[in-house]
Amino acid sequence: MPTHKIINRWRNLQTIHLLLAALIILTTVLLVWQHFGMNTFLRFDPSHFKKISVNDDREHINGKSISRLTTSPDFWRLDCQLNEGYRAPYCSLDLDLSLGEQGINIDNYDQITIRYRYPIPNEQALLMLVNFNPVYSTLDDYRSQKFNEVFLPSTNEWLTSHLNGNQFNVASWWVAYKKILPEWTINEFNNVREIRLATGMYPQQQQYQIDLAYIELSGKWISTHNLQLLLLVLWGGSAACWLIAELRRAMRALHRSHTRHADLENTQRHLKELNQLLAERSMRDPLTLAFNREGLSVILANEQPNTPSSIIFIDIDYFKKINDNYGHAIGDQVLCLLTQHIQQQIRPSEKLIRLGGEEFVLLCQHSALAQAGQLAEKLRLWLFSQSWPTGTSLSCSFGVAERLENESFEAALHRADLALYRAKTAGRNRVEIAEEE
Ligand SMILES: Nc1nc2c(ncn2[C@@H]2O[C@H](COP(=O)(O)OP(=O)(O)OP(=O)(O)O)[C@@H](O)[C@H]2O)c(=O)[nH]1
């Protein structure tokens, strides 16, 4: 594996390790901190809380109980003369937590601590958390709020009691009064507008006293449930980010591999084309671009067997004189022009080959002797009628031979050469047909 890939892989591993280490440290710190710290308190006592009042049943029909509040630096005292009259006589100490409809969300706290004294033997005080919910509560009806209550035992001495939400029940009189659906008869503490400490359920007609030192709500900035959620999101989010990064890396690698593959294919195609071009060039005469002897071998190798074919041997008359009189360069031009003129007159299946010097052979596949002879005559007239760089007309002599059955190309060429020789000796600028030997 190349060094840069090893380094990249090591870097990736390092990133994952760092991420994992950071997550583990963060998780541990948060869990330990949440367990031993992150505490939050809300305390109601005489030195910090002033919105306290006492209440009794005189606001109800026949209510005759009389309550009185005394505030000392260390506690509030409710003195209550409970009198018969209202069907459920009571006195209460009320802590007003409200701001309009808004109260306190006690769900954010884990524990309610109350320090109180209730020196009435065989009696129970009633601690109520009065919750407002616009679904069933209205501001003009105090009893439309939900009363979550718990009974506290009587005590001659100060007693500190720790409570949690599960210990509260919704007051049965409230359920009966509201005639509410069962789903609303469970505890609710998300909007507590008042904490009420009241005389108990079946009070006697006598003097009551309730002392309250404080009520304290305690909990964590982040609850265990919320912390679990937070950690879940943190781990899940990190895993998702890592997966996306890995996916993107894989996509990039795939893209690079595709690009490399396409580049390789391009290079391969280019090389193939170059190869074809070189092969083509090697079959051509560089001056005239007619086929050369190499090209002739390839053409013969690819020839279809048992099909008629003829050879026309073409030789420029008195070419030496052109070179001598007009120079070698003009001679070259004449050779190129001659090739172009012949190419214009032949079919794709007929191949022009320069054997050397001013000697050309036209290989006429699929042509019998008569057709080849006609073609030679046509070419003779055509070339003779063209204009040339010498400013004079140019004549050629032609020897035509048809390849006999099982006759080699060389043998047929030889017969065509003999026919050409006859054309030359007979005065040039003519076509001679080869004789069978
Ligand atoms: N310019 C040029 N001349 C060439 C080339 N190859 C051969 N020759 C010349 O072609 C001439 C051929 O002359 P000869 O074989 O005597 O034939 P000729 O003059 O055409 O006379 P006949 O064939 O008898 O009509 C020679 O002078 C060669 O130098 C070439 O590539 N370019």
What distance in Å separates the CA atoms of residue 435 and residue 153, rounded to the nearest whole number?
A: 144
Ligand 1 close to Cβ of residue 399 (< 6 A): no
Q: For residue 276, what pLDDT band results from cuts at 50, 70 and 90?
A: very high
Pair 389, 337: CB distance under 8 Å: yes
Q: Is the pLDDT of residue 11 over 90?
A: no
Ligand 1 close to Cβ of residue 328 (< 6 A): yes
Ligand 1 close to Cβ of residue 317 (< 6 A): yes
299-329 tens-digit pLDDT: 999 888 778 899 999 999 999 999 999 999 9
What distance in Å separates the CA atoms of residue 358 and residue 356, rounded to the nearest whole number?
A: 6
Q: Tokens 């060389």 correspond to what residue?
A: 410
Q: Whose CA is nearest to atom 13 of ligand 1?
A: 320
- The fourth-level CATH superfamily of domain 293-433 is Reverse transcriptase/Diguanylate cyclase domain (3.30.70.270)
pTM of the model: 0.51
Ligand 1 close to Cβ of residue 360 (< 6 A): no
Task: Count CB neighbours of 331 within 10 A.
Answer: 20
Task: Please give the order of strands across the beta sheet that includes 52-56.
Answer: 52-56, 91-96, 192-198, 124-131, 146-153, 169-170
Catalytically annotated residues: 358
pLDDT of residue 2: 72
Ligand 1 close to Cβ of residue 319 (< 6 A): yes
Q: Token pair of 308, please? A: 């008629």
pLDDT of residue 3: 73
pLDDT of residue 13: 65
Q: Tokens 């407002």 correspond to what residue?
A: 132
Candidate of 287, 289, 314, 320 to mutate for ligand 1, largest count of ligand atoms within 8 Å of Cβ: 320
pLDDT of residue 101: 79
Counting from 1 in the atom list of ligand 1, the atom nearest the Cα of 397 is 25
378-423 tens-digit pLDDT: 999 999 999 999 999 999 999 999 998 888 999 999 999 999 999 9
Ligand 1 close to Cβ of residue 320 (< 6 A): yes
What are the structural domain ranges in the chain? 42-220, 293-433
Cβ within 8 Å of residue 265, ≥6 positions away = none
Helix axes 328-345, 319-326, angle to 10 degrees: 140
Counting from 1 in the atom list of ligand 1, the atom nearest the Cα of 287 is 31
45-55 tens-digit pLDDT: 999 999 999 99
Candidate of 323, 324, 422 to mutate for ligand 1, largest count of ligand atoms within 8 Å of Cβ: 323
Q: Is the pLDDT of residue 72 over 90?
A: yes
Ligand 1 close to Cβ of residue 425 (< 6 A): no
pLDDT of residue 12: 64
% of the chain at pLDDT higher than 70:
98
pLDDT of residue 108: 85
What is the fold, at CATH topology level, of the domain defined by 42-220? Answer: Jelly Rolls (2.60.120)
Candidate of 287, 289, 313, 319 to mutate for ligand 1, largest count of ligand atoms within 8 Å of Cβ: 319
From ligand 1's centre to the CA of 340, what distance in Å?
19
- 202 against 97, higher pLDDT: 97
ipTM above 0.90, yes or no: yes
Pair 219, 108: CB distance under 8 Å: yes
Ligand 1 close to Cβ of residue 424 (< 6 A): yes
% of the chain at pLDDT higher than 90:
77
From ligand 1's centre to the CA of 310, what distance in Å?
25
Q: For residue 1, what pLDDT band results from cuts at 50, 70 and 90?
A: low
